[in-house]
Amino acid sequence: MTTRHALSAAATALLLFACVDSSDAPATVVDPDGTTFKLEGWADNWFAAYVGEDLVLEDSVSITTERSFNSETGTFVADYPLQLNFVLKDYKEDDTGLEYIGANNQQMGDGGFIMQLTDMSTGDIVAVTDSSFVCKVLHTAPLDKTCEGESDPVPGSAPCDFTDLAEPAGWKLADYDDSDWTDTTIHSAADVDPKLGYDDISWDAAAEFIWGPDLETNNTVLCRVTVEAP
């Protein structure tokens, strides 16, 4: 028993040590036999990252915050191949998709997401947002962009109609059939115009901004990528 307790204590100490990253935030352990990864991401306005169904990093600024521009960095322990899944959201005040409703700057708002993943055992970047991702748009609003100029925009009433699809069952699983996820669109940095927090990260040259086809009206987007062992 004594030996077993000693081993257990040593294992716990090792695990705690592995959980401490540079920001002292605990790493999420998806697979204790895996290696440590660092995920850096920037979203206009919010993202959550999963390995399979395990949440590994979530934007610390709530999606209910109108102006939310910040980068996020987190670590997790997992094993290859990684099924990386993302929920991306552009801020919207309601289902019109608009923000600043009733103000002079009432507008559709726009989105955009960029991330990179580093294998901390080698220091190599093993995944970046690019055309290898597959994405599906869930929430689109307004369906008619003239909604932006309405003095009393009403969700679901023309021209402020919207579509709001449910998350497909099992979409975070590795064997989910995402062959019809064809909404992935690469957007230029000029179009996304990244704001606060973006410059805090040293981005790999290959990392690109992804979203659905329309930065303005696509408000909730799911994206997936499988990261194989290098």
For the chain, helix, strand, coil in percent to 5 are 15, 35, 50
φ and ψ at 221, to 5 degrees? -135, 135
93 vs 130 by CB, closer to Ca ion? 93
What Rg do the C-alpha atoms of the chain give, in angstroms? 20
97 vs 212 by CB, closer to Ca ion? 97
Question: In the complex, what is the shortest distance from the CB of residue 142 to Ca ion, in angstroms, rounded to a whole number?
Answer: 9
Per rule CB under 5 A, is residue 148 in the interface with Ca ion?
A: no
Alpha-carbon span 57 to 76, nearest angstrom: 8
Instruction: Enumerate residues 74-113 that contact Ca ion by CB under 5 A.
Output: 90-91, 97, 108-109
> Alpha-carbon torsion 73, 78, 84, 85, what sign?
negative
75 vs 155 by CB, closer to Ca ion? 155
Question: In the complex, what is the shortest distance from the CB of residue 147 to Ca ion, in angstroms, rounded to a whole number?
Answer: 11
Per rule CB under 5 A, is residue 44 in the interface with Ca ion?
A: yes
The correct pick among 28, 45, 71, 184 for binding Ca ion (CB under 5 A) is 45
108 vs 160 by CB, closer to Ca ion? 108
Give the closest residue to 46 by CA, choosing from 26, 64, 29: 64
User: Amino acid identity, residue 208?
Assistant: E
Per rule CB under 5 A, is residue 59 in the interface with Ca ion?
A: no
Question: In the complex, what is the shortest distance from the CB of residue 44 to Ca ion, in angstroms, rounded to a whole number?
Answer: 4
Contact 58, 133 (CB under 8 A): no
Per rule CB under 5 A, is residue 142 in the interface with Ca ion?
A: no
Residues of the shown chain interacting with Ca ion in the complex, contacts defined by CB under 5 A: 44-45, 90-91, 97, 108-109, 219
